[in-house]
C-alpha cells in the first residue's frame, strides 16, 4: 500500500518528514513527529500487514454543507480488517474535534466499513521512537541461520541472546538485533535497549 500524500501538507503548515517504510517498501510523507512515532510502531507491529499515510480525503455532507477530513493513516491488518487512524496532540484536542472525528467515523463505517480511531497523545516518546527506528533498520538484514532450526529460550536478556547465538553463527550481535526486527523477541520499548534488557513474548515464525 503506497502513500498518496497530498499537497495539503503545505497549507496545514506542519513539518513534513520523509520516512522509508520497510513494511510498505516506499517512502511515506508524515506531518510531524507524532506521525513518525506512530509510523514506526505500525512498521514494527506484527499484526499490521501494510499501511498508508494520508490515504484519502473523505467528503461528507452535513446539513447541506460538504465537510472534508483526511485521516493520518489507513491500516490493513493481517486478520483482514482495516481502519483509519488519526493521531492528534492532546493539547489541541477538544470535545468539538473529537465529535468531528466521531462523525466522520460513523460515515466511513457506513460507506466502506472502516472506522476512524482517534489517538490523542502528548509529547513523542523519544526513547520508544529511537528503539523502533533501530529495529526498522535491522529488517533489511538477512539472518545467517534458519530460525526454525533453533529452539530459542522463551525468556532471555539481550546480552544472553548474543552469547546464545555465538553457538550458531559468526555474527551474533547483528543477528540478535535482527531477531527483534523479525518479531522473534519483544522488549519494553520505553527503555533503551541494553545487554541487560529482558526479552520475552517470543513469536513462533
Residues 87 and 145 in one domain: no
Range of the domain at 76: 8-121
Rounded to two decimals, the pTM is 0.72
The residue from 104, 121, 138 where one domain ends is 121
Assess whether 177 and 193 both reside in one domain.
yes
Q: What gap in Å lies between CA 49 and CA 79, rounded to an integer?
A: 9
Bigger pLDDT: 159 or 136?
159
Q: What is the mean pLDDT of the chain?
A: 85
Q: What average pLDDT does this structure show over 134-161?
A: 84
Residue appearing with cell numbers 513462533: 204
Do 154 and 193 fall into the same domain? Answer: yes
The three-point CA angle 33-37-41 to 5° equals: 165
Please identify, among 121, 136, 156, the residue that sits at the C-terminal boundary of a domain.
Answer: 121
Q: Which residues of 101-122 are buried (b: 16+ CB within 10 A; e: fewer)?
A: beebbebbeeeeebbbebeeee
In a domain, 61, yes or no: yes
* Per-residue pLDDT, 9: 34
Lowest mean pLDDT among 20-29, 155-164, 190-199: 20-29
Q: What does the pLDDT read at residue 204?
A: 47
Q: What is the pLDDT of residues 61-116, one digit of tens each?
A: 877 788 899 999 999 999 999 999 999 988 888 898 899 999 999 999 999 999 99
Pairing of strands 116-121, 82-89: parallel
Q: What's the confidence (pLDDT) of residue 5?
A: 38
At 13, list the grid cell.
Answer: 503548515
**Cβ-count burial of 35 within 10 angstroms (0-12 exposed, 13-18 middle, 19+ buried)?**
buried
2 part of a folded domain:
no
Same structural domain, 20 and 115: yes
> When comparing pLDDT for 4 and 204, which is higher?
204
Cell of 205: 515464525
Amino acid at each position: 500500500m503506497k502513500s498518496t500524500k497530498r499537497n495539503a501538507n503545505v497549507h496545514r503548515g506542519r513539518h513534513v518528514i520523509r520516512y522509508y517504510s520497510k513494511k510498505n517498501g516506499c517512502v511515506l510523507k508524515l506531518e510531524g513527529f507524532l506521525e513518525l512515532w506512530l509510523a514506526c510502531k505500525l512498521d514494527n507491529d506484527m499484526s499490521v500487514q501494510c499501511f498508508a499515510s494520508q490515504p484519502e480525503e473523505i467528503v461528507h455532507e452535513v446539513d447541506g454543507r460538504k465537510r472534508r477530513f483526511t485521516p493520518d493513516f489507513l491500516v490493513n491488518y493481517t486478520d483482514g480488517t482495516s481502519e483509519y487512524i488519526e493521531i492528534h496532540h492532546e493539547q489541541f484536542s477538544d470535545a468539538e474535534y473529537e465529535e468531528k472525528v466521531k462523525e466522520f467515523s460513523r460515515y466511513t463505517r457506513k460507506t466502506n466499513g472502516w472506522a476512524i480511531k482517534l489517538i490523542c497523545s502528548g509529547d513523542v516518546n523519544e526513547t520508544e521512537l529511537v528503539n523502533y527506528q533501530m529495529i526498522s533498520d535491522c529488517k533489511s538484514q538477512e539472518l545467517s541461520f534458519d530460525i526454525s532450526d533453533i529452539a530459542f529460550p522463551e525468556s532471555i536478556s539481550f546480552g544472553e541472546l548474543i552469547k546464545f547465538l555465538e553457538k550458531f553463527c559468526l555474527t551474533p550481535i547483528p543477528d540478535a538485533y535482527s531477531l527483534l526486527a523479525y518479531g522473534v523477541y519483544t522488549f519494553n520499548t520505553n527503555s533503551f535497549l541494553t545487554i541487560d534488557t529482558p526479552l520475552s513474548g517470543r513469536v513462533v515464525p
